[in-house]
Amino acid sequence: MAGDLRAGRGTNPELAALLEDLHGTCWWCGKVADSLEHRHKRTDLERLWEGSRAPVWGGDGGRVETLRGPNSKSRSVRFGAVLCQNCNNARSQPFDRAYEVFSAALVDGMDGWWEADGVDLGAIYGPEWRTEALKLARYHVKNMGCQMADHGVRPPQSMVAFLDGEPSMPDVGLYLVKSESHYGGHKLFRQFGPNSGLFRPDDHVYFSPTRGRITGYEAMAIIGYVGVALAWSEAPDDHDSFFMHEFPVLNQIPADPGFAEELASLVLQALGNDPPQDADRERNL
Above pLDDT 70, what percent of the chain? 82
Please give the pLDDT value at position 280.
31
| Residues 270 and 56: beta-carbon distance below 8 Å | yes
Longest Cα–Cα distance of the chain, Å, equals: 54
Please give the pLDDT value at position 59.
63
- pLDDT digits 0-9 by tens, 7-65: 344 568 899 999 999 999 999 999 999 999 988 898 888 887 766 566 667 665 556 67
Q: Which residues contact 123 (CB under 8 A, 6 or more apart)?
A: none
Name the band, by pLDDT with cuts 50, 70 and 90, for residue 285.
Answer: very low
Please give the pLDDT value at position 271.
64
Please give the pLDDT value at position 272.
64
Name the band, by pLDDT with cuts 50, 70 and 90, for residue 284.
Answer: very low
List, in sequence order, every residue forming a beta bridge with 78; answer none if it has no partner.
38
Cα–Cα distance, 172 to 229 (Å, whole number): 10
Cα–Cα distance, 57 to 199 (Å, whole number): 9
Please give the pLDDT value at position 5.
52
Name the band, by pLDDT with cuts 50, 70 and 90, for residue 187.
Answer: confident
- pLDDT digits 0-9 by tens, 106-142: 999 998 999 999 999 999 999 999 999 999 999 999 9
Number of domains in the chain: 1
Please give the pLDDT value at position 63.
64
Query: Using CB atoms within 10 A of its CB, is residue 118 exposed (0-12), middle (13-18) or buried (19+)?
Result: middle
Average pLDDT, the chain: 85
Range of the domain at 52: 2-283
Confirm whether pTM is higher than 0.85: yes
Mean predicted confidence (pLDDT) in 174-178: 98
Mean predicted confidence (pLDDT) in 208-220: 94
- pLDDT digits 0-9 by tens, 267-283: 676 666 544 433 332 22
Please give the pLDDT value at position 53.
62
Lowest mean pLDDT among 186-190, 229-233, 243-247, 261-265: 261-265
- pLDDT higher than threshold 50 for residue 68: yes
Please give the pLDDT value at position 270.
65
Q: Tell me the DSSP string of the chain.
A: -EEEEETTEESSHHHHTT----TTB-TTT-SB--B--BSS-HHHHHHHTTSSS--EEE-GGG-EEE---TT---TTTB--S-B-HHHHTTTTHHHHHHHHHHHHHHHHTGGGGGG-SB--HHHHHGGGHHHHHHHHHHHHHHHHHHHHHHTT-PPPHHHHHHHTT-S--TTEEEEEEEEHHHHHHHHHHHHH-S---EE-PPEEEEEETTTTEEEEEEEEEEETTEEEEEEEESS------GGG-SS-BEEEE---HHHHHHHHHHHHHHHT-PPPTTHHHHH--
Please give the pLDDT value at position 164.
98
Please give the pLDDT value at position 6.
47
Q: Which residues contact 236 (CB under 8 A, 6 or more apart)?
A: 170, 171
- pLDDT digits 0-9 by tens, 145-165: 999 999 999 999 999 999 999
Sign, CA torsion 220/225/228/231: positive
